[in-house]
């Protein structure tokens, strides 16, 4: 008997543990409830309800720390993550032991997965469409088994809780091991790993150069038997599948980046080239549209538009500020930041794990007038926010005036010692001009919501912190549709209504600073503090025109062009050093499957 796809999917998502934790909790078996909750949460890290439950468990006095264990932990992922921690810490002796364990366990898991590919035909829809003869049925079934086996590498390379597989999972082990073995002085095993890696990528120039050195030192070097078997078997299966694709009308999404070009049939290569050309043309079309866009400043780039962000009325601009302008505004925050959110005078309005500091444009000008901050920095806050307003207005509502509704220079700082076990968000999911009701799938445009807000923006000043990214969701507040990672000079803008629910991931380390901007078409709701701030600037200019006005400090740096080149953020490594493999790993979970607290 084979369980249905729906049942198997639930088990893959660890759904039974969601029910188990509730059952154990009601039975007052706290340790088992915690283990079940943790096991579910590992595979569903964006499940907001479970985040809350886990945090509650951590606060309970009767819960043991070692109860937070993953009951479904896969050996190869445990070994891989520990190995990578040692590797990143340059502890290569410990790294090779755990990475070897990970590779061995991964190959074993691959064999188990391949064995499960045997079984009856499962595509019921396909079965209804065609009534094949005996030979066709045998061929179709066999090709289905082969394709299933090929996809197993994606299954073992996908970490629980992730959607995307780690690219080149098996080859990357060999690349990492080659480097680690060479660092501990074991040239024999380093050479063996290099030879094994070249089975996947025989034209990789840095590795070929390494092999040349190894052969000079050691003589003939052979690849690992297990890797030779893995590659040969995979290539034979791919050859059969591609034959079926070419002659029997099958389809195949090759999971491997290393598949040799000569293995793919010519007509498929042609189709691939056509797809690439089409994609390239679409990219050029988008770029052309962006060039024609009515942006009022040069040098600004549209990094993501609504389509790329899976929504409507969303956009990300880069290079709105220069690195030096970001530094000046950060200096302003340090000089003037106050505990509290700046307009309600209370500390940490959204989470007890962070400290909020806020500064309005008027307060910045008043501080400058008193000599507490530099005039040029306070003036730069006005200029940067006005520049952002013009960009948003020209992009979304050309010809229709946008007024400032509120401008707020805000920093969120992770409180040290209060981040362990943290499960909440820096800012819960919300919409900017209505009260979000995820259960009813509605957003109520009524007080206390700021119903007059039409567009919102965030102009980021830094990225030297952990977490703090902006994310958009569906109306359910849990299905993430897009994420924006902060960096200096990046402006994200969007309409303020129910079409753009958004939140901010927790800031778990460091200090995140940005200018929060809200705009309105309604002049009666225009920001009055800004008018007063501009009056202070004019008053300052008049004073400077007086005979003794030349006593002010230096030159006003806030008038610098935003098209000046950025300062390098870190020193460049010597060119002769080969980059340590594994430094560019990135994974982004895409979907949340729970409700947020309303």
pLDDT digit string, tens, across residues 353-366: 888 888 999 999 99
Task: Enumerate residues 6+ apart whose C-beta is below 8 A from 337.
Answer: 357, 358, 359, 411
CA 205 vs CA 144, 212, 582: distances in Å: 36, 10, 17
What secondary structure, in 3-state letters, does 39-84 show?
Answer: HHHHHCCCCHHHHHHHHHHHHCCCCCHHHCCCCCCCHHHHHHHHHH
Q: Which residues of the chain have pLDDT under 50?
A: 124-128, 284-293, 338-346, 549-578, 584-598
Q: In a 3-state reduction of DSSP, which class is residue 31? A: helix
Rounded (10°) CA dihedral 116, 118, 121, 125: 40
> What is the C-alpha to C-alpha distance for residues 114 and 234, in angstroms, rounded to an integer?
12
* Element at 14 (helix H, strand E): none
pLDDT in tens, 166-211: 889 999 999 999 999 999 999 999 999 999 999 999 999 999 999 9
Amino acid 568: pLDDT? 39
Token pair for 425: 């968000």
Distance CA 533, CA 538 (A): 9
Residue 336 tokens read as 């003037």
The length of the chain, given as a count of residues: 598
What secondary structure letter does DSSP report for 425? -
- The residue with tokens 């893995």 is 230
**Residue 529 to residues 1, 314, 329, 406: CA-CA distances in angstroms?**
71, 27, 19, 9
Q: Which residues contact 307 (CB under 8 A, 6 or more apart)?
A: none
DSSP three-state, residue 390: helix
| Cβ–Cβ under 8 Å, residues 305 and 549 | no
Separation of alpha carbons 585 and 80, rounded Å: 13
- 356 forms beta bridges with 412
Please give the model's pTM, rounded to 2 decimal places.
0.50
- What per-residue confidence (pLDDT) applies to 558? 39
Cα–Cα distance for residue pair 194/211, rounded to 1 Å? 7
What is the predicted pLDDT for the residue at 595?
31
Q: Which residues pair with 317 in a beta bridge?
A: 302, 491
Contacts of 425 (CB under 8 A, 6+ apart): 48, 350, 351, 503, 504, 505, 506
Q: Using alpha carbons, select from 485, 341, 468, 348 the residue that is nearest to residue 415.
A: 348
C-alpha–C-alpha distance, residues 88 and 95, integer Å = 9
Query: Could you give the residue numbers annotated as active site?
Result: 512
| E strand or H helix at 467 | strand 466-467
Q: 505 and 469 in contact (C-beta within 8 Å)?
A: yes
Q: Which residues have C-beta within 8 Å of that of residue 110, sequence separation ≥ 6?
A: 152, 153, 156
Start-end of H helices in 259-342: 266-292, 323-336
22-52 burial, b for 16+ CB within 10 Å, e for fewer? eebbeeeebbbbbbbbbbbbbbbebbbebbb
Domains in the chain and their CATH numbers? 5-73 (no CATH), 87-122+133-286 (no CATH), 301-415+424-540 (2.60.120.620)
Say if residue 119 is preceded by a cis peptide, omega within 30 of 0: no
286/280 Cα distance (integer angstroms): 10
**Structure tokens that stand for 68 in this block:** 């937070």
Map residue 350 onto helix, strand or coil. coil
56 torsion bin: left (phi>0), alpha (psi -120 to 50), beta (else): alpha
Q: What is the CA radius of gyration of the chain?
A: 29
Q: Is 509 left (phi over 0), alpha (psi -120 to 50) or beta?
A: beta
Q: Rounded CA gap, 545 and 573, in Å?
A: 50
Q: What is the dihedral of CA 504, 508, 509, 514, to 10 degrees?
A: 10
Q: Are the CB atoms for 90 and 59 separated by under 8 Å?
A: no
Cβ atoms of residues 517 and 331 within 8 Å: no
Tell the burial category of 432 from Cβ atoms under 10 Å away from its Cβ (0-12, 13-18, 19+).
buried
**What residues are paired with 554 via a beta bridge?**
none
- Are 21 and 71 contacting, i.e. CB atoms less than 8 angstroms apart? no
Residue 1 is inside which H or E element, if any? none
| Cβ atoms of 521 and 403 closer than 8 Å | yes
């Amino acid at each position: 008997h084979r369980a249905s796809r729906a049942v198997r999917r639930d088990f893959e998502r660890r759904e039974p543990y969601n029910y188990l934790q509730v059952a154990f909790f009601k039975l007052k078996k706290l340790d088992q409830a915690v283990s079940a909750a943790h096991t579910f949460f590992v595979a569903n890290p964006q499940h907001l309800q479970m985040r809350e439950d886990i945090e509650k468990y951590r606060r309970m006095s009767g819960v043991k720390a070692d109860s937070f264990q993953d009951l479904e932990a896969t050996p190869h992922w445990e070994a891989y993550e520990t190995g990578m921690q040692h590797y990143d810490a340059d502890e290569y002796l410990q790294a090779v032991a755990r990475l070897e364990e990970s590779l061995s366990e991964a190959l074993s898991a691959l064999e188990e997965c391949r064995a499960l590919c045997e079984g009856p035909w499962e595509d019921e829809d396909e079965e209804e469409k065609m009534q094949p003869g005996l030979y066709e049925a045998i061929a179709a079934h066999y090709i289905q088994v082969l394709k299933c086996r090929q996809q197993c590498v994606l299954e073992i390379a996908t970490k629980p809780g992730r959607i995307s597989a780690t690219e080149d999972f098996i080859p990357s082990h060999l690349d990492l091991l080659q480097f680690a073995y060479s660092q501990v002085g074991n040239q024999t095993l380093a050479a063996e790993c290099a030879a094994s890696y070249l089975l996947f990528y025989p034209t990789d120039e840095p590795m070929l150069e390494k092999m040349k050195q190894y052969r000079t030192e050691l003589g003939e070097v052979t690849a690992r038997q297990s890797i030779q078997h893995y590659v040969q078997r995979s290539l034979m299966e791919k050859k059969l599948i591609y034959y079926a694709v070419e002659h029997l009308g099958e389809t195949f999404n090759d999971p491997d980046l290393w598949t040799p070009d000569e293995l793919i049939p010519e007509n498929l290569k042609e189709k691939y080239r056509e797809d690439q050309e089409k994609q390239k043309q679409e990219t050029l079309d988008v770029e052309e549209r962006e060039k024609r866009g009515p942006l009022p400043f040069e040098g600004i780039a549209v990094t993501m538009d609504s389509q790329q962000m899976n929504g409507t009325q969303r956009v990300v601009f880069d290079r709105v500020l220069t690195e030096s302008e970001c530094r000046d505004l950060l200096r302003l925050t340090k000089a003037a930041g106050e505990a509290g959110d700046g307009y309600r005078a209370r500390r940490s309005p959204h989470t007890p794990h962070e400290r909020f500091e806020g500064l309005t444009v008027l307060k910045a000008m008043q501080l400058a007038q008193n000599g507490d901050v530099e005039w040029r920095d306070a003036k730069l806050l006005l200029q940067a926010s006005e520049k952002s307003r013009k960009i948003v207005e020209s992009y979304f509502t050309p010809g229709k005036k946008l007024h400032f509704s509120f401008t707020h220079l805000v920093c969120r700082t992770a409180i040290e010692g209060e981040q362990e076990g943290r499960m909440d968000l820096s800012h819960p999911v919300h919409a900017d001009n209505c009260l979000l009701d995820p259960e009813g799938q509605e957003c109520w445009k009524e007080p206390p919501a700021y119903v007059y807000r039409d567009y919102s923006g965030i102009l980021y000043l830094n990225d030297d912190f952990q977490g703090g990214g902006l994310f958009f969701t569906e109306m359910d507040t849990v299905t993430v549709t897009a994420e924006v990672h902060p960096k200096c000079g990046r402006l994200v803008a969007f309409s303020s209504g129910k079409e753009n629910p958004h939140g901010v991931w927790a800031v778990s380390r460091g200090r995140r600073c940005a200018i929060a901007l809200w705009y309105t078409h309604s002049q009666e709701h225009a920001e009055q503090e800004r008018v007063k701030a501009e009056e202070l600037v004019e008053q300052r200019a008049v004073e400077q025109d007086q005979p003794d006005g030349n006593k002010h400090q230096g030159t006003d740096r806030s008038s610098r062009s935003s098209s000046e080149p950025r300062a390098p953020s870190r020193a460049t490594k010597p060119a002769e050093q080969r980059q340590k493999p594994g430094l560019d790993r990135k994974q982004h979970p895409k979907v949340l499957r729970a409700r947020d607290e309303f």
